[in-house]
Amino acid sequence: MLATAPPAIDIRDLRVDYGNFIAVDDLSLTVPKGEVFGLVGPNGAGKTSTFRVITTLMQPTYGEVILDGVDVLEDLESARRIIGYMPDLAPVPSDLKVWEFLEFHADAYGLGSRSQRKERVAECLEAVNLTPQRNNWCKALSRGQTQRVVLAKTLLHRPRVLVLDEPASGLDPLARRDLRNVLRAIAKEGATIFVSSHILSELSEMCTSLCVMNRGKLLASGTVEEVRQQLGNNERGVTIALLRGHEIALDWLGRHEFVHDLRLDGERVSFGFKGTDETQADLIEGLIAAGVRLRSFEERRSSFEDILVGVAESNRLS
C-alpha cells in the first residue's frame, strides 16, 4: 500500500494571543500540494498572525504547523528552506539594478557558483515576465513591476510553499492580471501558494480553493462554491422573461417556499430565491409544467464581496 503524501500546509489547533486578545483561535486547516489557496477575511480576522507563524516570524501560544512534512516550530532551519515569503509592500533598494538586487539575494541563499546564480536569476526573471527590465534601476520600476521583482526574489531558492501577504495590494487591473497569471504558472510547476488579499474578486479568480476567517476563527474552507454554501449564502436574484402565462407564473411563484420579493415589470418577473441548484431546476420545470412560456432565465448570485461584507457587518452587530 502506497503511503499518502503529506499536505503542503497542515495547521493544527493554532492559537495566537496578544495579552488578553485572541488573534487566532484554534485554527485547523489543510492545504494540498499544488494549490493556489486564498485566505480571506476582514481586518482583524487573524490573517497576518497566521502568516507570521507559518513563516517562522513568531511563536504561537500553542498549536502545530507542518509544511511538506516539516514541523515549523521544531525545525526552523528546514522549514525556512521550504518557505518563500512575500510580505505586503516589501521594499526594494533604489540604488540597485534589478539583476543586482536578485543576485545579492541569490548569493545570500548560497545558490551555488556565480554562473549558477546568474542562471537562476535569469530563470526567475523569466518566470515573472521581467527579463526586459533586468538592467533597469529598481527605483524606476512601476508598482506592479516592483511586486514581480520581489516575487522573483522569493522564488530564487525554489521554495515548495509560497506565502504571499496581499501581493496584489495597490496594483492596477492589468498588473493584477499579470500577477495572477504568474502565480498560476508557478503552481503548475508544483509549488503551493498560500495568498491573502482584500481584493476578493481577484482571489476567487486566482485560487483553486480558499478559506474565510473572522475574529481568529475559520468560518469556511473549500472551493468558491463550497465556501458560499458553508456560509449559508445561497441567496440569488432571479429574473425571468415570459411570452405568456404571467398570472399563472405570479400565482405559482407566490406559493413557492424559496421565493420572496416577487415583482412584475412588463413581461419580466423578478424575485429573490434561497434554494439550492436542484430546487432551482425544479422551479423551472414546475413553471413550464404549469403552462408558463419562458423566454429567458437570468440569475445573480451574491458576489464574494457581498459575502465578506456580510461577515464584516456581523462584527459590528455583535
Question: How many distinct helices (H) and strands (E) make up the chain?
Answer: 11, 14
Model confidence at 30: pLDDT above 70: yes
CA 24/CA 65 separation, integer angstroms: 13
Q: What pLDDT does 230 receive?
A: 78
Model confidence at 4: pLDDT above 80: no
Model confidence at 27: pLDDT above 60: yes
Q: Is the dihedral of CA 126, 130, 136, 138 positive or negative?
A: negative
Cα first-last separation, the chain: 50
Model confidence at 268: pLDDT above 60: yes
Residue 184: how many other CB atoms lie within 10 Å: 15
**Of residues 265, 254, 258, 253, the one with CA closest to residue 292:** 253
Give yes or no for a contact between 237 and 299, defined as CB atoms under 8 angstroms apart.
Answer: yes
Q: What pLDDT does 71 receive?
A: 94
Residue 34: how many other CB atoms lie within 10 Å: 15
Residue 13: how many other CB atoms lie within 10 Å: 12
Element containing residue 149 per DSSP (H, E): helix 143-155
pLDDT confidence tier of residue 200, bands split at 50, 70 and 90 = low
Q: What percent of the chain has pLDDT over 90?
A: 54
CA 105/CA 21 separation, integer angstroms: 37
CA 76/CA 193 separation, integer angstroms: 19
Q: Give per-residue pLDDT as tens, 297-318.
A: 998 876 666 666 666 666 555 5
Largest Cα separation within the chain, whole Å, is 80
Domains contained in the chain, CATH given:
9-230 (3.40.50.300), 236-301 (3.30.70.100)
Predicted structure pTM score: 0.76
Going across the sheet that includes 217-222, the strands are 83-86, 161-165, 192-196, 36-40, 209-214, 217-222
Q: Which DSSP state fits 318? A: -
The overall average pLDDT reported for the chain is 87
Q: What pLDDT does 5 receive?
A: 73
Q: What pLDDT does 266 receive?
A: 86
Q: Which DSSP state fits 42? A: -
Give yes or no for a contact between 92 and 138, defined as CB atoms under 8 angstroms apart.
Answer: yes
Percentages helix, strand, coil for the chain (3-state, rounded to 5) are 40, 30, 30
Model confidence at 1: pLDDT above 70: no
